């Protein structure tokens, strides 16, 4: 598939080069150009009707016209043939600097030309004001380029002309149009979220019947939410998104539940790294979150905020500028989460830490308690399905009855016991191994055996 993409893009780049040459030749008034051949739209884009590449498929799916194809390949060029834009570094002999109408930026590390919306408008319209106005619709929020996040528009500073914004292709479409693989964003400075998966399944999740019923409610929305709203004619009153709060002690299954919900309906679950999101600088937290929400807008992802009280905590009395800034952040989050069309799950150890105004906006609030004796025994048995690996002195029912621990803590105990048995060169885990592990987990909580 990457071979097909390369061949298809080669033809598209050749067409772009012809358009670029005609625009520059006409713009600088070469006598070789006749008025009736100066229109760049006389240069027909390559025929892609039988092209099997991902790039051609994307162009066909969105029924891209001349203007859209020119803008899209312009956004791809810095990644596939950056030298093709070097001509934009041309300087005016009169002013001794680059031409304002070319737009563009030089990257902080990249020495090549990075196009802006002004660059695209120059290519499409030249000095024709009517064509310039027509080209603006390509950057409208309702145009599929921005609505479906095919391209990104990023303004460098407030108060500058709208067309000074840099334009770039979204990472997933860049990957799709080059090596042909579907790209799933991963943890980075620009995307402070991590795709979470698990080898466990629903049988490994040990929760009470009441909690499972609440989870099934959310599961039903994930599977049938859109059809459900249409069937009951709730389109006018019910927003497409769903917000749920998971709260309870650590290790009780909140993260695993979110992961399994996503896996059960084929939806990616992204855990937001709050340490990368929250910033002491005014406006940075909102910007970091906007990057996640913008990318997730049309992806049908589940956004999972672990330890959410660090970001969604109670608002304070505004006694200082820092307090006002913190409250503004929470207000911004309230709005973005409420407007998000997908599912947002917040996890917190203590429900009371979550801002009350935000809590009222949840469709469900699910409490994950510590497992009782019966549930703890199920967890122990799930951890050691092969009892041949346990010594004769191990009594799982007795351990389940005596020690109140979460599922996460029991997993830590099993890991510790396995390591200890290996160090002792034994092929079975003994009661003492488990007790040592239990004691370590209890000490974390200020308890002892």
Could you write out the three-class secondary structure of the chain?
A: CHHHHHHHHHHHHHHHHHHHHHHHHHHCCCCCCCHHHCCHHHCCCCCCCCCCCHHHHHHHHCCCCHHHHHHHHHHHHHHHCHHHHHHHHCECCCCCCECHHHCCEECCCCCCEECEHHHHHHHHHCCCHHHHHHHHHHHCCCCHHHHCCCEEEECCCCCCCHHHCEEEECHHHHHHHCCCCCCCCCCCCCCCEEECCCCCCHHHCCCCHHHHHHHHHHHHHHHHHHHHHHHCCCCCCCCCCEEEEEECCCCCCHHHHHHHHHHHCCCCEEEECHHHHCCCCCCHHHHHHHHHHHHHCCCCCEEEECCCHHHHECCCCCCCHHHHHHHHHHHHHHHHHHHCCCEEEEEECCHHHECHHHHCCCCEEEECCCCCHHHHHHHHHHHCCCHHHECCCCCHHHHHHHCCCCHHHHHHHHHHHHHHHHHCCCCCECHHHHHHHHHHHHHHCCCCC
Cα–Cα distance for residue pair 203/69, rounded to 1 Å: 49
Please compute the mean of the pLDDT values over residues 42-63 and round it to a whole number.
94
Tell me the average pLDDT across 416-438: 96
**Residue-level pLDDT at 280:** 58
Confidence of residue 32 (pLDDT cuts 50, 70, 90): low
pLDDT at 442 over 50: yes
Residue 52 pLDDT: 92
Output the pLDDT for position 23.
Answer: 93
pLDDT over 90 (residue 272): no
pLDDT of residue 334: 74
pLDDT-wise least confident of 91-105, 225-239, 258-272, 319-333: 319-333
Lowest model confidence (mean pLDDT) among 138-152, 289-303, 384-398, 426-440: 289-303
CB-CB contact of 136 with 167 (8 Å): no
Percent of the chain's residues with pLDDT above 70: 87
Distance between CA atoms of residues 222 and 215, nearest Å:
11
Residue 164 is predicted with a pLDDT of: 94
Q: Tell me the pLDDT tens digit for each residue of 284-335.
A: 677 777 778 888 877 889 999 888 776 665 544 445 555 555 566 667 777 8
**pLDDT the model gives residue 325:** 53
pLDDT computed for residue 314 by the predictor: 54
The pLDDT-based confidence of 72 (bands split at 50, 70, 90) is very high
- 201 phi/psi in degrees, rounded to 5: -130, -175
Q: What is the pLDDT of residue 256?
A: 96
Domains of the chain: 2-177 (no CATH), 193-367 (3.40.50.300), 373-444 (1.10.8.60)
Mean pLDDT of the chain: 87
36 — pLDDT class (breaks 50, 70, 90): very low
pLDDT tens digits, one per residue of 368-415: 999 999 999 999 999 999 999 999 999 999 999 999 999 999 999 999
For residue 278, pLDDT beyond 70: no
Give me the mean pLDDT over the 230-250 stretch.
90
Query: C-alpha 323: how far from its chain's center?
Result: 29
pLDDT of residue 177: 92
**Residue among 359, 276, 281 at smallest CA distance from 326:** 281
187 or 232, greater pLDDT: 232
For the record, the structure tokens of 199 come out as: 């080898």
- Percent of the chain having pLDDT more than 90? 61
Residue 252 has pLDDT above 60, yes or no: yes
For 95-121, the pLDDT digits (tens) are 888 899 999 998 888 889 999 999 999
Q: What is the mean pLDDT of residues 167-177?
A: 89
User: Phi, psi (5° rounding) for residue 236?
Assistant: -75, -25
Residue 358 has pLDDT above 80, yes or no: no
């Amino acid at each position: 598939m990457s071979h097909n993409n390369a061949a298809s893009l080669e033809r598209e780049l050749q067409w772009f080069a012809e358009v670029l040459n005609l625009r520059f030749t006409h713009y600088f008034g070469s006598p070789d150009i006749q008025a009736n051949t100066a229109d760049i739209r006389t240069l027909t884009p390559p025929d892609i009707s039988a092209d099997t590449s991902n790039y051609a498929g994307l162009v066909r799916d969105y029924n891209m016209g001349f203007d859209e194809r020119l803008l899209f390949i312009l956004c791809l060029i810095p990644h596939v043939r950056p030298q093709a834009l070097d001509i934009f570094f041309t300087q005016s002999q009169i002013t001794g600097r680059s031409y304002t109408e070319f737009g563009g930026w030089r990257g902080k590390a990249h020495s090549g030309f990075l196009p802006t919306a002004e660059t695209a408008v120059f290519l499409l319209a030249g000095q024709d004001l009517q064509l310039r106005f027509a080209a603006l619709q390509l950057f409208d929020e309702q145009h599929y380029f921005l609505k479906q996040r095919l391209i990104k528009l990023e303004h460098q500073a407030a108060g500058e002309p709208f067309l000074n914004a840099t334009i770039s292709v979204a990472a997933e479409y860049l990957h799709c149009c080059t090596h042909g693989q579907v790209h799933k964003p991963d943890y980075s400075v620009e995307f402070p979220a991590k795709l979470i998966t698990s080898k466990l399944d629903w049988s490994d999740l040990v929760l009470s019947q009441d909690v499972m019923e609440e989870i099934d409610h959310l599961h039903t929305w994930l599977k049938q939410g859109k059809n459900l709203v249409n069937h009951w004619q709730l389109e006018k009153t019910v927003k497409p998104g769903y917000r749920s709060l998971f709260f309870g002690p650590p290790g009780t299954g909140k993260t695993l539940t979110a992961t399994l919900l996503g896996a059960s309906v084929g939806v990616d679950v992204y855990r937001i790294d709050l340490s990368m999101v929250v910033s002491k600088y005014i406006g940075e937290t909102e910007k970091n979150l906007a990057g996640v929400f913008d990318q997730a807008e049309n992806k049908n992802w589940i956004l999972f905020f672990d330890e959410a009280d660090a970001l969604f905590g109670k608002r304070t009395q505004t006694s200082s500028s820092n307090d006002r800034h913190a409250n503004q952040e929470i207000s911004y989050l309230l709005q973005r989460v409420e407007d998000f069309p997908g599912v947002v799950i917040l996890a917190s150890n203590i429900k009371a830490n979550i801002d009350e105004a935000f809590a009222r906006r949840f469709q469900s609030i699910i409490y994950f308690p510590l497992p009782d004796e019966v549930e703890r025994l199920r967890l122990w048995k799930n951890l050691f399905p092969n009892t041949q690996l346990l010594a004769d002195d191990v009594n799982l029912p007795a351990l389940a009855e005596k020690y109140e621990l979460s599922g996460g803590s029991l997993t830590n105990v099993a890991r510790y016991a396995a390591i200890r048995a290996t160090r002792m060169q034994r092929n079975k885990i003994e009661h003492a191994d488990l007790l040592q592990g239990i004691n370590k987990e209890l000490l974390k909580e200020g308890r002892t055996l």
